[in-house]
Amino acid sequence: MSIDPDRFGLSCAITTPMREGGSVDLPRLVSHARHVLAQGCDSVTLFGTTGEGAALGLPERAAMMGALTGAGIDPAAQIYAGVAAASLEEAVQQGRLALDAGAKGLLVAPPFYFKGVSDEGLYRWFSQLFEALGPCVRNVILYHIPSVTAVGLSVGLIDRLKKAFPGVVTGVKDSSGDYANTEAYLKAHGELAILVGDERLLAKAVRNGAQGSICGVANLVPHLLRPIVYEGKDSPVVNTLVDEICSHPVLASVKALVGHLHGDAGYGAMRPPLEALDEARRQRLFAAYDRITQAQAA
């Protein structure tokens, strides 16, 4: 299989291991990042939704970037960083920290506190962010996840931003779960890297021009996602696994399953207000995961 070196590919929206006291578990983070990269991910995305990024402060972000780069993971090729802030000042600080540490690019969510905002207001916010980051700003993936932010990114807004900041805005991640929206992005912005967050829609999107995914299930089965990302192959196993995860609290489920995958009971703690799965639910999820993945192996 010939791989296009300019294709975005598969990035793991990496979960953030936490100790019971709430601090980030850096050794587990490094170990898991190495694992997903070895199993088929092209990069990891720190501080995304699956990684509880909106709950991570600047010192923790710096420590996490430092831990991965110190472990030999190349930030210029293998690390994207999420930016999630209601305050423009905080968004600038998050972005600058990651870019100064060498991150390949940024996954930038819109400001999420104020609802019902206009495209003009969002255009000004993103413009001020990019201008404040200055010449170092690069490889920005705009993040459309209205189920979390309640602030959407319209086709028209993306058009204005890509034209105002050519070479800066290089992609859009669509986590709406609405294929019609992905299709509209592909039609209007096919020259950008259109990425799909819902793994169940990924194969169809790739067949129609999408360049890959930043997704949570890449924490678990990157080897199954890679043929979807690069060949547009449907995977009933991945679809079944996503359906199972979505029947539970998603972020806690992914983190618990990472622990199950590694045989490490130390995974599972969440940062409030999120909560870990209770033991009964964990065991039901683990049994379902084993059943689904073993069916694939067979």
Across the chain, the runs of DSSP E, i.e. the strands, are 9-13, 43-46, 79-83, 105-108, 140-144, 169-174, 193-196, 212-215
In whole angstroms, what is the distance from residue 226 CA to residue 7 CA?
Answer: 13
Give the tokens for residue 242.
Answer: 């996503």
pLDDT tens per residue, range 175-201: 999 999 999 999 999 999 999 999 999
Q: How would you label 60-71 residue by residue, b for 16+ Cβ within 10 Å and e otherwise? A: bbeebbebbbee
Q: How sure is the predictor about 1, in pLDDT bands with cuts at 50, 70 and 90?
A: very low
SS3 category, 70: helix
Does 220 score more than 50 pLDDT? yes
Of 250, 251, 189, 199, whose CA–CA distance to 227 is shortest?
199
In this prediction, residues 37-44 reach a mean pLDDT of: 98
The pLDDT of residue 2 is 46
| pLDDT surpasses 50 at 203 | yes
Mean pLDDT of the chain: 96
Contact 189, 156 (CB under 8 A): no
* pLDDT tops 80 at residue 89: yes
Is the predicted pLDDT of residue 297 greater than 80, yes or no? no
